[in-house]
Structure 1
Amino acid sequence: MLNKIVDAIGFKLGQAFGDEFTIYSDTEEQGVTAPCFFIAVLSPSQQPVIGRRYFKKHPFDIHYYPQGPDKQREINDVADSLKEVLAYITTDGHLLAGTKMHHQVLDGILHFYVEYNLFVLKQMEPDETMGELTIHGTVKG
């Protein structure tokens, strides 16, 4: 599920910002080509709720590396756009809402934080059914 959410985020970024922006989801050793996005998975978690239901949290940090001469204005524009672009993503035909959106700028790089949380129902192995039962009896009366 996590990789599908990463793919859906990448798809939405590609739709919104076009081909001139490179989108990375794997760690780059050196030299990213700005302007670009990097999709970082933070710390996914899963908690049991009731029975077979679980609540899964998928937090992300979307990095944006600006290129223009006025980088702070570019970062501000992209941060505003990301709030709209990542409000909803679609994966496996399900619409997921982005929550807890906020951003900060560290060392000239935009860090846009968003979570995609959902409930899942785990499949259970069917119980083994009882074999045949034969009853012999008589009725008094």
Structure 2
Amino acid sequence: MISKLMTGIEQAIRKEFPETTYKIFTEATERVSPCFFILCISQSRNAKLGDRFILNTSFEVQYFSGSGNNECWGVAEKLRELLDVISLEEDLMQGRNGNYRVDNGVLHFVMDYNIPMMRQQDAVDFMEEVTVYGKTREAGK
């Protein structure tokens, strides 16, 4: 599920920031400015009735600026709009609790995604055939 969410976040970022200018990383590597780094910072489950649960996942998108703090503030406002609703394969997922801060030319943008899910149940073997022995009663007796 985390990889699907990361893909949705990356696709949302690509709507505004072209691949030719901005690189997006999901693994720790040597970064060149300007670039984005997507990181899952926490995940938890909230149990619901039966086999249902809510998967709470928090992501941090870091933006490494080549120009300083002012550029980061502009990127933060764009990310707020882009990551508000992301595409998760055929579904849309709305982000919650978006917040950000800028620290030494690096934007730290955090967004939560809460996904309702259901535990997979084991496959049940059905009967292939059944034989019934008996007879019917005559009406009125």
**Which category of TM-score, normalised to the shorter sequence, fits these structures?**
0.7 to 0.9
Deviation at 1:128, TM superposition (A): 4.5
Q: Which residue of the partner structure matches residue 75 of structure 2?
A: 78
Q: Which residue of the partner structure matches residue 117 of structure 1?
A: 114
Deviation at 1:14, TM superposition (A): 1.5
Q: Which residue of the partner structure matches residue 38 of structure 2?
A: 39
Structure 1: 5+ residue runs without aligned partners? none
Cα RMSD (Å) of the superposition?
2.0
Cα distance in 2, alignment partners of residues 15 and 127 from structure 1: 44
Identity %: 25
State the TM-score, normalized to the length of structure 2. 0.85
Cα distance in 2, alignment partners of residues 121 and 92 from structure 1: 18
SS state of the match for residue 92, structure 2? strand
The 4+ residue runs of structure 1 with deviation greater than 3 A are 126-137
Cα distance in 1, alignment partners of residues 131 and 48 from structure 2: 38
Q: Which residue of the partner structure matches residue 60 of structure 1?
A: 59
Q: Which residue of the partner structure matches residue 49 of structure 2?
A: 50
Letter in 2 for 1:112: F
The 10-residue stretch of structure 1 (101-110 or 87-96) with the greater mean CA deviation from structure 2:
101-110
Cα distance in 2, alignment partners of residues 126 and 34 from structure 1: 50
The superposition leaves residues 23-45 of structure 1 with CA deviations (integer Å, 9 ceiling, x where unpaired) of 001111xx311001000110111
Deviation at 1:15, TM superposition (A): 1.7
Structure 2: 5+ residue runs without aligned partners? none
**Paired positions, count:** 136
Q: Is the 8 A contact 2:55 2:116 kept in 1?
A: yes
State the TM-score, normalized to the length of structure 1. 0.85
Letter in 1 for 2:5: I
